[in-house]
Amino acid sequence: MSVPRPGPVSEVIIEVQGLELRGYHGALEEEQRSGQRFLFDVTLVAHDAGVRSDQLADTVDYTAVVARVREVSDRHRFNLIEALAAAVADDLLHHFPASRVRVRVRKPEVQLEAPAEYTAATVERSRL
């Protein structure tokens, strides 16, 4: 008698790129008082996420991801975009069935001594 073998497992990469939210983060008092735009690039790696069933309930819902990012950004004021990216990554890994999460936070309105398109911090988290 043979034991049925499981089918191949798919690694699904789910992305939300360029999510624009207003936040009150920054090391300067003015940034925390006036707020500014932040851009979030989020990548979640899930396995077989809806590939076989074609059902939303079996994957990571993009609208739920956006809601979690907004919740983390709105709930706390961070001095550093590194800490903001880490908090978002931790939250997403906690709330979704992903094996890995990557969050990049871009700050397009950064004020430096020379022109720059943006500054960014990226944090990657994975389940052990």
The answer to whether the beta carbons of residues 25 and 81 sit under 8 Å apart is yes
Would residue 85 show up in a list of annotated catalytic residues for this protein? no
- Structure letter (DSSP) for residue 4: P
Residues ≥6 apart with Cβ < 8 Å to 101? 42, 43, 44, 45, 89, 92, 93, 124, 125, 126
> DSSP class of residue 25?
-
Q: Which among 25, 102, 104, 107 is annotated as catalytic? A: 107
Catalogue the active-site residues.
107
